[in-house]
Every structure is written in structure tokens, then in C-alpha cells.
């Protein structure tokens, strides 16, 4: 119980999650919050689930003893989830949840809603009113995933004679034997239909009267109490921790995805910025690496994205480390190599623009390498991992197709310059 609560709290209080992602996952956060409340108050949620019109709302009304949820012969009467405290249960804290029915024809959205409720419930009353259809069978398989107890409620038992009930029980039992314990198959009559009864009156004439068989809900109530008493509190904690686990996994991957997407955009922006700046105002190649002001800003920017803020000095140090690795790996010739590959791609005449764009492309490339290496470092929580910086740098360099990056950068820079010249 405490463990579950703790893991949820941690999830909620995690500073490592930026606001943008918090917003994106807000509904999940609310869910966790609700779950936390539920856990702290020791509440248990019992949900109905099943095909339209099998009597889900009626079953809940019969348990509660009042007409709380609306019922109708029309399919799809329940459109949204409803919740009601079950006062009758001695310890309190039990809530009954009504859900829309699964409909073979339409209502996918409502069905999704019902699944969602089930996912968060501690116990499920799967309601049917005859032998299970294929649709019910596959829905039952989804719901009976072993994480929460399920009672299979065979409602409308008033429609069956005693003999029919016996054989129906046999059939159902066989069909669900791998999914539901036979003690959890319960017959009920939540809202028995009125029937015309013909009787012989005292004066000997035949008369008709309309009456309904009595509501039969005692067996369901008894079984429900049994389960709640024996496993109630552990159920709730168990479900909460499963849910928290799911959610933190979901959050984790969403976080990673959102971050690397934004990181990619940030790096690209700085690459173009630096490339164009260098192209417009060419500087000696030797100064390229030294002219790291842009790279410093980029790293500071990235570090904020990863919630591991770095100062400019720190960022400068990081760039030095990366540049040193590049030097070790490629020797002093690396810059010269870039130039020749950049120029090689020129289509002929070495016009100033082309040369300038080539230099810009080199600047672009170096910023891209630095950005990607820095991102890797940040993603690992400001660490190079066991293999050290050299490994990371060489991996990124291997991974990037230098020539195509440079030629693309050149195109982008030229396109940018042309657009500017037109204005």
C-alpha cells in the first residue's frame, strides 16, 4: 500500500518533467491524482461492464436499493460513466460505477470509455443476459487479464425456468472455465419483467393480473462482500501500483520522444544560424572551432530542455572536451578535410558565394556534431557513460554522413542567401 502510494507521489513530484510535457500528459496526471486520493481514502471501485441492455444499470440499482442509474429498454441508455457510493457495505468506501455498454453496431467511443473505467477499477461485474456472444467472449478475455477479480453476472434470470438456468450455467461455466472461477458465476434478476398471470378467481372465472417476479440480487451481494472483505484493500493498492507502473513507462517514453524532437529542432536552428552567419561573414577556418559562442548558447539551451541547466562556462568546457576528442580522432587535418569535401561538391566555378556557403556548411556540420554529442551527454544525465567521451564522439561522427550533411547544409544556406538577396 505504502509502496504504491510512494511510487505515485514520486511520479507526480518529479521535477525532471518539463511543463510542456506535463501539459500533454495532464489527463494522466489527473488520473494519478484521483488514484492517489482513492488509495489514501481506501476507496474501492466496482464497475459494471457488458453488452448494451443486458441490465448493467439495473444490477447496480438493485445493489444500491434505489433507482440511481437510468435504465431503459433502448440500447445505449447509459452514455457516460456514473458513480455512486454503496452505503450498504459496512466499512464504506465502496463505489459503484456504471458504464456504457459495448455495442456491436456503433458506439466505439463509449466502449473505449467503458474499457477505461474497467482499467481503473478494483473489481468488475461482467454482466450478460444469456450465453455469451462472440463479442462478449472477446471482451471478457480483454477484461479478465488477471489483474482484478471478475464476477460474471448472468442477469434476467427471471426469463429462465429453473431447468434452463441449470443448463445455462453448465454451458457458461464450460465456456469461461479458463477465465472465471465457477464460484464467480452468479445468476441475478435485477429488474424482473412484469408478466401476465392467469389465475382462477374465487367465483371460478379466469382472471388476468400483471406482476413481476421478485428481484434476485442476494447471491451477487453475498459474493461481492466476500471478495471485498477478503481482498479489498490489497486490490486497491495492487491496481494503483500497476497503473502507476504503466503510467511512468508511458511518461518516460513520451518524455524521451518529446525531448529528442525538441533537441533536434534546437540543434538545427543553431546549425543554420551559425552556417548562415559564417557564410555571410567568412572567417578563417582555424577560428571556426574557436568561434564557439553559438555552440555555447546551443548547449545552454539544450541543457535547459533536459532540466540539467549548465552555465556558459560549463558549456564551454563541454565544447572543449568534444573538440579535443574530434582532434584526437581525426587529427588537425579534420578541418582541412571538411573544406575539400565541401568544395568538391561545388558545381564548378568557385564563386565567392559558393566558397562562403562551403565555409558556412562546415560551421553547420561542426555545430551539428557538437549539438548531437552534447545531447547524448545530457540524455545520460550529464554523463559520458562507461565508454567515455571518445566513444560518444566517434559514434556520432560515424553515424553522420559527413558529405551529405555538408551538401545539404550548403543547399540550405544558399537557399537562405538567395531568398535574402531577392528581398
CA dihedral 194, 196, 197, 199 (to 10 degrees): 140
Reference 24, options 262, 370, 372, 340; nearest CA is 262
Q: Where are the beta strands (DSSP E) in 267-324?
A: none
Residues across the chain: 423
Site for ligand GTP in 101-140 (CB under 6 A): 101
Distance of closest approach, residue 260 Cβ to ligand GTP, in angstroms: 44
# residues near ligand GTP by CB under 6 A: 25
Q: Is 90 exposed, middle or buried (0-12, 13-18, 19+ CB in 10 A)?
A: exposed
Task: State the minimum distance, in angstroms, from the CB of residue 77 to Mg ion.
Answer: 5
Residue 57 near Mg ion by CB under 5 A: yes
- Percent helix, percent strand, percent coil in the chain, to nearest 5: 60, 10, 25
Q: Which does 52 bind (CB under 5 to 8 A by kind): Mg ion, ligand GTP, none?
A: ligand GTP
Among 25, 28, 49, 58, binds ligand GTP (CB under 6 A): 58
Q: Is 57 in the site for ligand GTP (CB under 6 A)?
A: yes
Site size toward Mg ion (CB under 5 A) is: 4
Alpha-helical (H) ranges within 99-151 are: 108-120, 134-143
Nearest distance in Å: CB 155, ligand GTP: 5
Tell me: does residue 299 bind ligand GTP (CB under 6 A).
no
58 binds Mg ion (CB under 5 A): no
Q: Which one of 1-9, 154-162, 168-176, 392-400 is the stretch in contact with ligand GTP (CB under 6 A)? A: 154-162
Binding at 75: pick from ligand GTP, Mg ion, none (beta carbon under 5-8 Å per type): ligand GTP
Query: Is residue 53 part of the contact set for ligand GTP (CB under 6 A)?
Result: yes
By CB under 6 A, tell whether 371 contacts ligand GTP.
no
> In whole angstroms, what separates CA 114 from the centre of its chain?
17
Tally Cβ neighbours within 10 Å of residue 45. Answer: 23
Among 35, 47, 52, 318, binds ligand GTP (CB under 6 A): 52
When asked if residue 220 is in the footprint of ligand GTP (CB under 6 A), the reply is: no
Residue 236 binding ligand GTP, by CB under 6 A: no
243 vs 401: CA distance, rounded Å: 43
Residues in contact with ligand GTP, shown as a per-residue x/- string from 68 to 87 under the rule CB under 6 A: ---xxx-xxxx---------
For residue 371, which of 405, 348, 337 has the smallest C-alpha distance? 405
Please give the Cα distance from 377 to 389 (Å, whole number). Answer: 9
Interaction between residue 191 and Mg ion (CB under 5 A): no
Which does residue 389 bind out of ligand GTP, Mg ion, none, counting CB within 5 to 8 angstroms by kind? Answer: none
3-class DSSP assignment, residue 67: coil
Q: Which residues contact 141 (CB under 8 A, 6 or more apart)?
A: 179
- Grid cell at residue 375: 545531447
Footprint on this chain of Mg ion (rule: CB under 5 A): 56-57, 77-78
Footprint on this chain of ligand GTP (rule: CB under 6 A): 52-58, 71-73, 75-78, 100-101, 155-156, 158-159, 189-193
Amino acid at each position: 500500500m505504502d509502496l504504491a502510494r510512494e511510487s505515485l507521489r514520486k511520479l507526480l513530484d518529479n521535477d525532471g518533467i518539463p511543463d510542456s510535457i506535463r501539459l500533454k500528459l495532464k489527463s494522466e496526471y489527473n488520473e494519478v491524482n484521483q488514484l492517489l486520493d482513492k488509495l489514501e481514502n481506501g476507496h474501492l471501485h466496482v464497475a459494471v461492464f457488458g453488452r448494451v441492455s443486458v441490465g448493467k444499470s439495473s444490477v447496480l440499482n438493485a445493489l444500491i436499493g434505489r433507482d440511481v442509474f437510468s435504465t431503459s429498454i433502448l440500447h445505449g441508455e447509459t452514455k457516460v460513466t456514473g458513480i455512486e457510493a454503496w452505503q450498504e457495505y459496512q466499512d464504506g468506501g465502496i463505489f459503484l460505477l456504471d458504464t456504457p455498454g459495448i455495442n456491436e453496431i456503433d458506439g466505439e467511443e463509449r466502449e473505449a470509455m467503458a474499457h477505461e473505467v474497467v482499467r481503473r477499477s478494483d473489481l468488475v461485474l461482467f454482466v450478460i443476459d444469456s450465453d455469451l456472444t462472440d463479442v462478449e467472449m472477446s471482451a471478457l478475455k480483454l477484461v479478465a487479464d488477471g489483474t482484478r477479480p471478475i464476477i460474471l453476472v448472468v442477469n434476467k434470470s427471471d426469463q429462465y425456468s429453473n431447468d434452463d438456468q441449470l443448463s445455462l450455467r453448465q454451458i457458461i461455466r464450460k465456456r469461461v472455465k479458463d477465465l472465471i472461477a465457477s464460484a464467480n458465476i452468479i445468476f441475478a434478476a435485477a429488474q424482473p419483467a412484469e408478466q401476465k398471470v392467469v389465475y382462477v378467481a374465487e367465483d371460478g372465472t379466469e382472471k388476468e393480473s400483471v406482476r413481476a417476479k421478485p428481484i434476485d440480487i442476494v447471491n451477487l451481494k453475498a459474493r461481492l462482500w466476500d471478495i471485498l472483505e477478503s481482498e479489498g484493500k490489497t486490490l486497491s493498492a495492487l491496481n494503483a501500483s500497476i497503473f502507476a507502473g504503466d503510467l511512468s513507462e508511458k511518461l518516460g517514453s513520451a518524455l524521451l520522444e518529446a525531448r529528442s524532437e525538441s533537441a533536434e529542432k534546437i540543434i538545427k536552428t543553431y546549425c543554420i544560424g551559425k552556417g548562415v552567419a559564417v557564410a555571410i561573414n567568412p572567417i578563417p577556418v582555424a577560428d571556426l572551432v574557436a568561434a564557439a559562442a553559438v555552440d555555447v548558447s546551443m548547449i545552454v539551451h539544450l541543457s535547459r530542455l533536459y532540466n540539467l541547466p549548465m552555465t556558459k562556462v560549463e558549456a564551454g568546457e563541454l565544447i572543449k572536451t568534444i573538440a579535443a576528442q574530434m582532434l584526437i580522432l581525426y587529427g588537425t587535418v579534420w578541418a582541412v578535410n571538411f573544406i575539400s569535401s565541401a568544395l568538391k561538391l561545388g558545381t564548378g566555378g568557385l564563386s565567392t558565394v559558393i566558397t562562403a556557403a562551403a565555409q558556412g556548411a562546415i560551421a553547420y556540420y561542426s555545430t551539428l556534431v557538437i549539438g548531437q554529442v552534447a545531447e547524448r551527454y545530457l540524455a545520460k544525465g550529464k554523463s559520458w557513460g562507461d565508454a567515455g567521451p571518445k566513444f560518444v564522439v566517434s559514434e556520432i561522427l560515424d553515424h553522420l554522413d559527413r558529405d551529405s550533411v555538408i551538401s545539404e547544409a550548403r543547399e540550405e544556406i544558399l537557399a537562405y542567401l538567395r531568398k535574402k538577396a531577392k528581398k
